[in-house]
Amino acid sequence: MTGNILSPTSCRGGAVVWRRGKLSSIRKILGVSGYFRSLVHDSVGDNALTVARHQSFIASHLIGGFLALAVFPVYLAVMGQPTLVTGIAFAWLMSPILIAVFLSRTGSLGFAHLISAVNLTGLVTFAAGITGGASSFLIAWMVIVPLEAALSADRRVVLAAIGVAGLALLALVTGEVMDILPVARTFSQEPAMLAFLGSMSALVYAGGLAISVQGVYDRSEREIRRGEQRYRLLAENATDMITRHNARGHVLFASNASEQILGEPASVLMGSGLFERIHVADRPAYLTAFGRCLDLNAPVSVEFRVKKRGVLNGPEEEGDGEFCWAEMRCRPVSHDEDETSDTSGLPEEIVAVTRDIAARKAQEDQILKARDLAESANKAKTQFLANMSHELRTPLNAIIGFSEILNRELYGRIGEERYREYAHLIHDSGQHLLSVVNEILDMSKIEAGKFDIVAESFKVAGLVNSCCEIMSHQSGKKSIDLRVDLEDKLPELVADKRACKQILLNLLANAVKFTGEGGRVEVTACRVDGNIEIAVADNGIGISAQDIPKLGNPFVQAESSYDRSYEGAGLGLSVVKGLVRLHGGTLDIESVLGEGTKVSILLPINGKAPADNEAGEICSDDGAQMTAALAVVA
């Protein structure tokens, strides 16, 4: 008795063996499926549904073709040498292999289905033509042609298959009426039996096609569900609130991010719930954004304030809670393209993504406040400069005038020699301080766009010679060789002569200042395309490479230590830079430390200058630094 009863151990062993056998079968099935998957063309990509269609087509055609190939030796062994008709039929039955290879190499599923439909129609027509024409028992197979083409999911291929099958039937009927078909072969079976066999075989094949269609449909449904789950997962876990609206703006769907942004569950926002939580003043912009999105059929953005917490007291009341700034980006969703629909391509719904921009708005407010503060500081600076112009120039003129009287001893000799030296120092210091004040005022005018450029035509040679004569006294004190090299027949320059004179004098003053005893300063002028280039070169102390980019900024000098050897506020070159740019020109500095410096300016001959509205922007960076420096001074 005990030999017939399975022990627990034997049951578990049997279960293990059964599981291993099942896993082995699954691996074999997956291996075959993987092989057919490897035959799919690379252009198909990772679209699971399209891959399934290609894989099903290749597998069915390869299996059908190889079955015909396997049956052919059996037929030879049983029936002997085949006839011509039999050979053609077997070759035709094997042709699906070539169609499967074509799809595997090209990836054109629609064209492969069309070839398959023509091939199947030809085979059925050939078989029906030798077995009775339109009354053949194989004529039921003609229905299979459009059914197989339906697997392509291409309406044009299906219509083409129907047309091919219809033409084949018409050809069979015509051939039978005109008596041009070959004599029908006779079979030992009854016609009813043959009709049954033909219809049954067609039914079995159609059933296989139906199963394939159902498999593709199930795969499509799974992919759609997976896609919906994937997108719903993204929508529910995104930090931005995702909403779907109808054409009237009512909310049809809202993601869970509404709790993070508004502190409200998504269900509260459905319908007009979101609209009622928008600030009354921002509702027109909200509705306008939806209208523009639908009219333009294009994405639209809108910013509005929305209630973050609390319960509404009414549709027009703000109620309790606070408002936060939000930005919504709307995108229209169109109808599916349908040739029979008059509304094809028109927006049907709107998908919107809303995010909290309270931090950005706070930053923008800070920027606006900083801008207002800067404008206020700029006005204070302008007022300070205006006051300084009056308060400093008046006593400076008195200091310079009376010190010059003492210097010249116009009202009698000064007894003590040191008093004469002190008067000379007072005069020089007053002149230096007055030049600094003038440079600051010029820089302020340039920055504010109030430096008027009065263009006139003048000769460059006269300007250069005049400036060199003015600087000859200072250069002579240091025994500096001041040279002038001008190109012959220079055209007249259309520019502000006073400003150009100030530019050249500042450049010459810097060159003489930073050139040692017995040095050399050379002024050149030549024509470069449609411009005049004026250059001032010296063999003085030079400038280091890291200091060159900083030159031209107000209150910046190459030697910035408190014990520097050369006096100056660092404004001369910044004034030159501003005046050159006001003329639409450029400034270039070349220098080697210990060898000398060359400053070149390029001015347009025709006097083209930037527009008036750009004048205030020319020295915006310089002006910011000057404002900061003046704030320290003040």
Statement to judge: residues 317 and 399 lie in one domain = no
Angle at 501 between CA 381 and CA 625, to 5 degrees: 25
Q: Which residues contact 446 (CB under 8 A, 6 or more apart)?
A: 575, 578, 579, 582, 615, 618, 619
Query: Residue 569 and residue 577: Cα distance in Å, rounded?
Result: 15
| Cα 522 → chain centroid | 52
C-alpha–C-alpha distance, residues 488 and 468, integer Å: 18
Burial class (CB in 10 A: 0-12, 13-18, 19+), 366: exposed
Contact 444, 554 (CB under 8 A): no
Answer yes or no: is 58 within a domain. yes
Mean pLDDT, residues 554-578 taken together: 57
Q: In this structure, are 438 and 489 located in the same domain? A: no
Does residue 230 fall inside a structural domain?
A: no
Out of 57-66, 147-156, 284-293, the most confident range is: 284-293
Q: Give me the mean pLDDT over the 41-66 stretch.
A: 79
Same domain, 294 and 414: no
Q: What are 604-628's pLDDT values in tens digits?
A: 988 754 444 344 444 444 444 433 3
Chain segment 109-144, per-residue pLDDT in tens: 888 888 888 888 888 888 888 887 777 888 888 888
Percent with pLDDT over 70 in the chain: 77
Domain contains 229: no
Q: What average pLDDT score do residues 172-178 get?
A: 84
**Pair 120, 182 in one domain:** yes
Does 579 have pLDDT greater than 50? yes
The confidence score (pLDDT) of residue 21 equals: 52
For residue 492, is it within any domain?
A: yes
Q: Are 321 and 279 in contact (CB under 8 A)?
A: no
Q: Which pLDDT score, from 0 to 100, does residue 553 have? A: 59
Same domain flag for 329 and 366: no
pLDDT at residue 294 in the model? 87
As given in the structure block, the two tokens for residue 506 are 């500042």
Shared domain for 550 and 582, answered yes or no, is yes
Helix (DSSP H) and strand (DSSP E) numbers for the chain: 17, 12
User: In CATH, what number is assigned to the domain containing residue 417?
Assistant: 1.20.58
Chosen domain end from 448, 471, 499: 448
Residue 602's closest CA among 573, 633, 576?
Answer: 576
Task: Give the model confidence (pLDDT) of 223-258 as tens digits.
Answer: 777 777 777 777 667 778 889 898 888 899 888 888
465, 584: one domain: yes
| Of 6-10, 254-258, 334-338, the least confident | 6-10
Which residue has better confidence, 343 or 407?
Answer: 407
Q: What is the CATH number of the domain that holds 260?
A: 3.30.450.20
pTM of the predicted protein model: 0.42
Q: Are 55 and 171 in a shared domain?
A: yes
Q: Does 348 share its domain with 399? A: no
Under a CB-based contact definition with an 8 Å cutoff, are residues 196 and 143 in contact? no
3-state secondary structure 528-558: ECCEEEEEEEECCCCCCCCCHHHCCCCCCCC
Q: Which residues of 231-247 are buried (b: 16+ CB within 10 A; e: fewer)?
A: eeeebeeeebbbbbbee
At which of 424, 448, 472 does a domain end? 448
User: Which residue, of 448, 469, 489, is where some domain finishes?
Assistant: 448
Q: What is the CATH number of the domain that holds 546?
A: 3.30.565.10
> Do 545 and 593 share a structural domain?
yes
How far is 205 from 51, CA to CA, in rounded Å? 22
26 or 401: which carries more pLDDT confidence?
A: 401
Domain count, the chain: 4
Give domain status of residue 1, yes or no. Answer: no
Mean pLDDT of 184-197: 74
Q: What confidence tier does 337 reach under pLDDT thresholds 50, 70, 90?
A: very low
User: b/e for 581-615, b at 16 or more Cβ within 10 A?
Assistant: bbbbbebebebeeeebbbbbbbbbbebebeeeeeb
The answer to whether residues 421 and 471 belong to one domain is no
Question: Does the pLDDT of residue 535 top 90, yes or no?
Answer: yes
The mean pLDDT of the chain is: 77
According to DSSP, the β-strands at 323-334 and 300-307 are antiparallel
Residue 460 or 35, more confident: 460
Residue 342 predicted with pLDDT over 70: no
**What residue numbers bound the domain in which 244 lies?**
238-336+344-356
pLDDT for res 305: 92
